[in-house]
């Protein structure tokens, strides 16, 4: 059994064209090398000026035309079913942001990796919070760009139990190659259990959970090292040089500054760091959430 319902169509078109290609590559190369020897200066001292041969030319126009139409056709038939998801597909939101995937199930469960029941069509509603991403599952032969501002979807049916890689295929900045996740295809029963299980009851500070779930830690470290943005360690009370309304000023970071930076990141930028990369979280995080985050950050000393 193939890993997904699309493997067959994709692989057929891919290997069909690859085989025809190998045939022509080998054929033409062999003939070319044969000619180099057979008609070398030594073996054929006098050349013949042959200007054309209508019969041959018609043949080698028609044959490639037929072949490419066949190639096109299998490409199309393998692709067409990807465009429309079946009505009974299970819908899951797949959210891409620098540099993290998360999957949000209808009943509110949110997970960093995708878990799906076997033999059931799944439709992913693709949401990007910042730049372009592309959700790519090589084993399933599916890929779809995740474009901010567009409601795209992709669908597939997992047909073989197992865990497969999810990669980001559209370049999305510094840690693009680390934007990885997995999809696990499980029995329906296990899926149902998984869906109702509460997320790993860890002892994490609620602020830390929020930082993890919102991909804040993709850019900000907790140990003082530099990633994309300034580290959270010793943040509160630190003196920083920022640009506000085009003017440089020196400030001491306090709670109000952090709240503002989380809600409207474009209003200030810290000198020495790229501006414009951070997503505005005003609509995503509640005031309580932000307080939790600040509370957690204040513990990072």
Residues in 168-207 that interact with Cu ion by CB under 5 A = 168, 172, 179
Residue 301 interacts with, from Cu ion, other proteins, none (CB under 5-8 Å by kind): none
CB of 295 to other proteins, least distance (A): 29
φ, ψ of residue 58 in degrees (nearest 5): -65, -45
Please report how close the Cβ of residue 166 comes to Cu ion at its closest, in angstroms. 11
Q: Which two tokens stand for residue 81?
A: 């079913």
Place of tokens 């920083």: 240
Q: Are strands 90-97 and 121-128 parallel, antiparallel or unpaired?
A: parallel
Task: Please choose, out of 6-14, 44-52, 165-173, 221-229, the segment that lies near Cu ion by the rule CB under 5 A.
Answer: 165-173
Whole-angstrom distance, CA of residue 67 vs CA of residue 279: 48
Residue 162 CB-half CA count within 13 A = 14
CA distance 18 to 301: 58
Q: Is residue 215 at the binding interface for other proteins, with CB under 8 A as the rule?
A: no
- Contact range with other proteins by CB under 8 A, out of 80-88, 215-223, 241-249, 293-301: 80-88
Q: Does 126 bind Cu ion (CB under 5 A)?
A: no
Please report, for residues 11, 13, 24, 69, 210, the alpha-carbon distance to residue 78 in angstroms, rounded to integers and kept in the order given: 9, 7, 23, 14, 41
What tokens appear for 116 in the block? 């799906």
Q: Does 58 bind other proteins (CB under 8 A)?
A: no
158: contact with other proteins by CB under 8 A: no
Cα separation, 296 vs 210, in Å, equals 10
The piece of 72-80, 210-218, 246-254, 287-295 that touches other proteins (CB under 8 A) is 72-80
Residues in 159-198 that interact with other proteins by CB under 8 A:
165, 167-178, 180
Work out how close the CB of 40 gets to other proteins at its nearest, in angstroms, rounded to a whole number.
Answer: 5
Closer Cβ to other proteins, 76 or 199, answer by number: 76
Q: Select 172 or 216, whichever has its Cβ closest to Cu ion.
A: 172
Preceding omega of 271 cis (within 30 degrees of 0):
no
Site for other proteins in 219-278 (CB under 8 A): 273-277
User: Of 159 and 291, which CB lies nearer to other proteins in the complex structure?
Assistant: 159
155 binds other proteins per the rule CB under 8 A:
no
Give yes or no for a contact between 298 and 233, defined as CB atoms under 8 angstroms apart.
no
SS3 255: helix
Site for other proteins contains 96 (CB under 8 A): no
């Amino acid at each position: 059994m193939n890993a997904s319902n699309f493997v067959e169509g994709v692989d057929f078109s891919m290997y069909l064209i690859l085989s025809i290609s190998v045939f022509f590559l080998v054929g033409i190369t062999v003939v070319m090398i044969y000619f180099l020897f057979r008609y070398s200066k030594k073996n054929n001292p006098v050349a013949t000026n042959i200007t054309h041969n209508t019969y041959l030319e018609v043949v080698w126009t028609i044959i490639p035309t037929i072949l490419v139409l066949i190639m096109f056709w299998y490409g199309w038939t393998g692709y067409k079913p990807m465009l429309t998801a079946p009505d009974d597909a299970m819908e899951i939101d797949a959210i891409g942001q620098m540099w993290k995937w998360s999957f949000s199930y209808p009943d509110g469960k949110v997970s960093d990796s995708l878990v799906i029941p076997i033999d059931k069509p799944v439709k992913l509603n693709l949401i990007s919070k910042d730049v372009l991403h592309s959700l790519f599952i090589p084993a399933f032969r599916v890929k779809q760009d995740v474009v901010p501002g567009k409601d795209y979807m992709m669908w597939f049916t997992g047909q073989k139990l197992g865990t497969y890689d999810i990669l980001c295929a559209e370049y999305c900045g510094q840690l693009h190659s680390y934007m990885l996740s997995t999809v696990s295809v499980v029995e329906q029963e296990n899926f149902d259990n998984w869906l109702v299980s509460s997320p790993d009851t860890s002892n994490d500070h609620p602020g830390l959970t929020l930082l993890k779930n919102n991909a804040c830690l993709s850019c900000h470290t907790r140990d003082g090292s530099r990633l994309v943005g300034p580290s959270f360690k010793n943040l509160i009370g630190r003196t920083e040089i920022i640009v506000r309304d085009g003017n440089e000023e020196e400030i001491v970071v306090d709670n109000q500054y952090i709240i503002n930076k989380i809600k409207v990141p474009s209003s200030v930028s810290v000198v020495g760091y790229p501006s414009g990369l951070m997503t505005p979280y005003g609509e995503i995080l509640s005031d309580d959430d932000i307080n939790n985050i600040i509370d957690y950050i204040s513990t990072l000393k």
